[in-house]
Amino acid sequence: MKIKALALISGGLDSLLAAKLIKEQGLEVIGLYFKIPFCKIDIKKSFPDIGIKIIEVDLGTEFLKLIQEPHYGFGSNMNPCIDCKILMFSKAKELMPELGARFIITGEVLGQRPMSQNKQALKLIRQRSGLDDLLLRPLSAQFFPPSLAEKEGWVKREKLLNFNGRKRTPQMRLAQDLGLNDYANPAGGCLLTDPSFSKRLIELLAHDELNLENLELLKVGRHFRLGLHTRLVVGRDEGENNQLTQLARTGDYLFSPQKDLAGPTALARGLVNQEIILLSSQITSAYTDALGLEKIGVFYRELPAVKDSLHQVSHLLKEKFVHLLI
């Protein structure tokens, strides 16, 4: 019976290479993908077929707790990379008996990321997650003491690598050597590293509105703070207009301009009164193509109602509400 290894995969190049390297040594590799609200991808479509089974585990609720007060702090934006890895590695360890895995592999490269992949941080993550020598990092293994898999002879240390630093050329060359030509952008795509998204998230936390539904809303449109407990999101294109309609829940208000005008869908969430309805309508109308019109018709409704109300609003210049933009 083949030795089983559990490979943490992100959808990027490094984790793909790590899994492939261990599989090439004749072991059975199971891919483990953790879903969090900030890095959602369709892993089974984006991860190339290298003959491994992929298991998905949702960490949404637990990640919400982590983001509010990470023990090791944030990176340059709202990315709690060290705490995130400790959480994922700890969960992976819990799954090992159930999956019959003898050790865990990751695609981490020493020195690639300043906060979470320096030597001290990598050691801390290994220890705090409880993995210790159950953890193997194939791409930089030569820089670390032999793991259990190497000491037991399950993998050959001489076939492991010594990648180091931020350059991606060695990984791309290895991918070519292994026949891997179709893979995702190696830089990854965590929204917590994005300054604009992080600014919105900080604002959300400041108003004690952190939940999974509001996080999904943060990914769409222009955001305005209309009141202490009220947010307006305005779609920037047809795709975002459709997303806002899909994300709307009971109690939300949806706004859209009169039928003969091209313009956005907007969603108001929180405490909404007549004053907020008027302002939301004016902001919605400001993003239409209504040139020269003194009055603009705006439809609105509170969900779950399906029938719209219509009222006429005066044109409002964007500079009049730009201070509300988050």
Tokens of 224: 């305005």
pLDDT of residue 186: 46
Provide the residue ranges of all domains of the chain, joining segments of one domain with +: 4-188, 220-324
Sheet order of strands, 4-8 included: 53-58, 28-35, 4-8, 103-105, 135-136
Write the pLDDT tens digit of every residue in 267-292: 999 999 999 999 999 999 999 987 67
Write the pLDDT tens digit of every residue in 248-267: 999 999 999 998 888 999 99
Separation CA 85–CA 59 (nearest Å): 12
Whether the model clears a pTM of 0.85, i.e. scores above it, the answer is: yes
Separation CA 58–CA 36 (nearest Å): 6
pLDDT of residue 184: 67
4-188 has CATH 3.40.50.10240 classification: no
| Segments of 163-219 assigned E as strands | none
Match 């993003």 to its residue by tokens. Answer: 287
* Beta carbons of 188 and 74 less than 8 angstroms apart: no
pLDDT mean over 54-68: 93
* Beta carbons of 221 and 244 less than 8 angstroms apart: yes
Write the pLDDT tens digit of every residue in 70-96: 999 998 899 999 999 999 999 999 999
pLDDT of residue 187: 46
SS3 220: coil
